[in-house]
Structure 1
Amino acid sequence: MQTLIVQPQNKEQLRAVESVLKLLKVNFIIQEDTLPAYVIDGVTESMQEAKAGELTPFKSIREMLDLE
């Protein structure tokens, strides 16, 4: 049997897909995408820095990684 991965973009699409699968009696599993805490913490910190105007412009990825 094959596996089908569906990624709805909003709750309306999710409900529609679930309804169709239930009508067709297709088994399905719902999994929530979760990010590690360190990723969420880093994004939160970056957003706070941006709001405070603490931005650092970079011209290239090499400059950002201090490889130049």
Structure 2
Amino acid sequence: MDIILKNVKKKDFPVLKSLAKSLGFEIIEEKEKPYNPEFVQEILDAREELRQGKGTKMSIEDIDKLWK
């Protein structure tokens, strides 16, 4: 059985870790990976272009034509 703890405060983590070790549990720490900075910049640039009016408006029909 797997148990996942989320939103554990840093001060509480050592206590939980020592308790788990004393009970013989296996501990696997997974750190969240940040988004790729290039991808984030691409999204931010696209949002700014939309704000500046550089986007293209498409109707549902236009989008439907792209599928075919």
TM class by shorter chain equals 0.3 to 0.5
**Higher relative contact order, structure no. (Cα contacts within 8 Å, ≥ 6 residues apart):** 2
Could you state the TM-score of these two structures normalised by the residue count of structure 2? Answer: 0.46
Could you state the TM-score of these two structures normalised by the residue count of structure 1? Answer: 0.46
The structure that has the greater radius of gyration is 2
